[in-house]
Amino acid sequence: MHPAVSVIFFTVASGAGFGMIFLLGLGFPVGGGAGRAFLVSLSGGGLAVAGLLASTFHLGHPERAWRALSQWRSSWLSREGISAIVTLLAFGVYALVWMTTGTRLFLLGLLAALGAAATVFTTSMIYAQLKTVPQWKTPLTTLVYLGFALCSGWLLASAFASHQFPEIWGAGLVGLAWAAKWAWWARASRARLADIGSTPETATGLGFIGKVRLLERPHTGENYLTLEMVHRIGRKHARTLRRLALVLGGIVPVIILALIALTGAPAPLNLAAALSMMLGLLAERWLFFAEAEHAVSLYYGHR
């Protein structure tokens, strides 16, 4: 499928933001008074909001995005929007009380944390429930989204921490998240449209006469389906991007955390690890979309 920059930025930025909100809501220790509370709350909430706003640019009519909220009974996109709104409202009140009184209300923080986890979960389910994309339809998709949100959020939150955290925690979260992604890649490399029963024969309904092959494209020019649902990426480029994602998103953050542990460098250096991870996740998320095969591609000669 065609990777949309707005959706890629949305899933990476909002994932880190909601991961940070999750940890802050559970009481992640941040010292420094009202100023530090404002800065850390702005970082988590700002990333979440920036990602959500970016996602609207992929819509044909962004001004109608609010209408999707009414479809919560059947749409994971609608559930995601509702979860995000509830979470941001709860976190906004939580942060305001924190900044003005220095008190972190447990129940309100817990609500924000659960809402943040639910928002990332619903985001992942937009893709994990699609039967038409065999690479995505797996619980590993949800595990990857949750894992990367948690570890990127931890790296960001730890940069504002009131005391030094054992870097092994961050390295462990990064390692677990990438282990899930490696398993996802291994499964995706074997997933085929035929595995879900989709072939040119079933797509056209002409299987009763034998093998079906494309004689002419359904359209003389490009259209929405060919632009959004039919995308090819060379194996050479995919391998290069995978290495880039793994190095920037996994190896570099772990090296930075190791250097901090060995040298006793201040916690704000964790920001470098967080930024490197998010750059790596941009490449990872681009591949997530680019390597996916949608069943509609069968109408355009893909087997």
Task: Give residue 210's region: left, alpha or beta (phi > 0; psi -120 to 50).
Answer: left
Report which DSSP code applies to 138. S
pLDDT digit string (tens) for the chain, length 303 residues: 667 888 899 999 999 999 999 999 999 988 778 888 899 999 999 999 998 888 777 666 655 566 666 777 778 888 998 999 999 999 999 999 999 998 999 999 999 999 999 999 999 999 999 887 888 889 999 999 999 999 999 999 988 876 666 778 889 999 999 999 999 999 888 877 666 666 666 666 666 777 767 666 666 666 555 555 566 665 677 888 999 999 999 999 999 999 888 887 777 788 999 999 999 999 999 999 888 776 666 666 555
Cβ-proximal residues to 97 (8 Å cutoff; 6+ apart), any chain: 103, 104, 105, 108
Q: Residue 248 has which token pair? A: 């920037």
For residue 85, give both structure tokens.
């709104």
CATH domain 5-300 topology: Formate dehydrogenase/DMSO reductase fold (1.20.1630)
- Structural domain boundaries in the chain: 5-300
For residue 300, what pLDDT is reported? 64
Q: What is the pLDDT of residue 135?
A: 86
Has this prediction a pTM greater than 0.85? yes
CA of residue 221 relative to chain centroid, distance: 32
Contacts for 168 with CB less than 8 Å, ≥ 6 apart: 261
- Measured from the Cβ of residue 291, the count of other Cβ atoms closer than 10 Å reads 21
